[in-house]
Amino acid sequence: MDVAEHFGGTVINADSQQVYKELCVLSARPSVEDEKRVPHRLFGTMEGHQICSAGHWVDMAVVEVQNALKQGRLPILVGGTGMYLQSLTEGLSPIPAIPAHVRTQSTARHKELGAEAFHEELGCLDSLTAERLPIGDTQRLLRAWEVTIFTGRTFSSWQDEPRIKPLPDVQFSTIAITPPREELYAAIDARFERMVQGGGLDEVKALKKLDLSSDLPLMKALGVPQLLAYLADEISLEEAIQKSQKLSRNYAKRQLTWVRNQIEGSYRLDAQYSKRFSDKIFSFIHEFLLTGAT
């Protein structure tokens, strides 16, 4: 938000959970006050029963980036979903759109066979993808199955095709805030406790009433399955919090690894962000804007 205020920017969500309207507290979505401070886009725009794939998010993000540029504003993409960011900046494989009836068919097939047998069936159709994806990664397994069934080509072969950049004339630059692990883990633990005390448990109670499938991305968000287990009297609240904190720390560790391995030429800030780092970040962005960004 500091950057958006300084450069006249629009904050565009690149987080796979903050896109859902039902998950505000547990996804740490910007507050109403935050959204009044600077323009925010793609936060809470999808229903919980929907699946937001990387391709769907890219389609939405392209529109918001173009709108911001038309308004003379700096698009600022923010979030921890690396696949989303990479798909926008580096492009997507040219996989044809999959009709709704095929997606319905894949879900029905998964339910009919069960997770393990479905994974085995995908292995017969596309062994490379099945080897790469664990049984519990339902969303990607369904995607691989439906692409293979509809196109007659394996999902892995499509991924080998040259990527198509959705915004070929737009140049991106990356700022990665990578604080020391101990500092980050302590902040994660404290934040989750604040989430539970600040409405997170009520949020999960409301989700439970919607009776959504546990396979949906929304229902797999960090903290949701654990708090649902507490509400079902399967574990204590203390255990639900501890499990959620541990999973969040593990996820953050994977994010940091991804940032270090995947994002080349990024500006890294190896500390928690604070106002005293504004000058460094602002100088980096000024230089980027002056050296060919379009």
Question: What is the pLDDT, as a whole number, of residue 280?
Answer: 82
Higher pLDDT, 10 or 213: 10
8 Å CB contact between 10 and 64: yes
Is the domain of 116 the same as that of 24? Answer: no
227-251 pLDDT tens trace: 999 999 999 999 999 999 999 999 9
Domain stop point among 159, 174, 192: 159
Question: What is the pLDDT, as a whole number, of residue 294?
Answer: 45
8 Å CB contact between 89 and 264: no
CATH of the domain at 114: 1.10.20.140
Domain stop point among 159, 190, 206: 159
Is the domain of 198 the same as that of 63? Answer: yes
Q: Tell me the two tokens of residue 158.
A: 């499509």
83-106 pLDDT tens trace: 899 899 989 888 888 888 998 899
Question: What is the pLDDT, as a whole number, of residue 258?
Answer: 81
Phi-psi region of 199 (alpha: psi -120 to 50; beta: other; left: phi over 0): left
CATH of the domain at 281: 3.40.50.300
Is the domain of 57 the same as that of 111? Answer: no
- Mean pLDDT (whole number) for 176-181: 85
159-172 pLDDT tens trace: 888 888 999 999 99
**String of DSSP letters for 207-218:** HHHHT--TTSGG
Task: Return the CA Rg of the chain.
Answer: 20
Would you give the DSSP letter of residue 202? Answer: H
In total, how many domains does the chain have?
A: 2
8 Å CB contact between 258 and 82: yes
SS3 (DSSP) at 46: strand
Distance CA 189, CA 187 (A): 6
Question: What is the pLDDT, as a whole number, of residue 275?
Answer: 63
Is the domain of 143 the same as that of 254? Answer: no
Over 90: is that where the pLDDT of 260 sits?
no
First vs last C-alpha separation in the chain: 21
Over 80: is that where the pLDDT of 292 sits?
no
Is the domain of 150 the same as that of 116? Answer: yes
Is the domain of 143 the same as that of 170? Answer: no
Is the domain of 204 the same as that of 223? Answer: yes
Is the domain of 230 the same as that of 176? Answer: yes
Is the domain of 284 the same as that of 215? Answer: yes
Distance CA 91, CA 85 (A): 9
Is the domain of 63 the same as that of 12? Answer: yes
Q: Which residues contact 203 (CB under 8 A, 6 or more apart)?
A: 22, 23, 24, 25, 26
Higher pLDDT, 224 or 52: 224
Is the domain of 197 the same as that of 72? Answer: yes
Whole-angstrom CA distances from 62 to 42, 57, 85, 95, 104 are: 11, 9, 11, 18, 27
**String of DSSP letters for 149-200:** HHHSS-HHHHHTSPPB-SSTT-----EEE---HHHHHHHHHHHHHHHIIIII
Domain stop point among 124, 141, 159: 159
Question: What is the pLDDT, as a whole number, of residue 136?
Answer: 84
Phi-psi region of 233 (alpha: psi -120 to 50; beta: other; left: phi over 0): left
Sign of the CA dihedral with 31 first, then 187, 251, and 259 last: positive
Is the domain of 121 the same as that of 180? Answer: no
Whole-angstrom CA distances from 178 to 54, 103, 185, 193, 261 are: 24, 37, 12, 22, 13
Question: What is the pLDDT, as a whole number, of residue 108?
Answer: 92
Distance CA 80, CA 30 (A): 14
Treating both helix axes as pointing N-terminal to C-terminal, what angle do 82-90 and 237-262 enclose, rounded to 10 degrees? 30
Q: Which domain holds residue 253?
A: 2-92+165-290
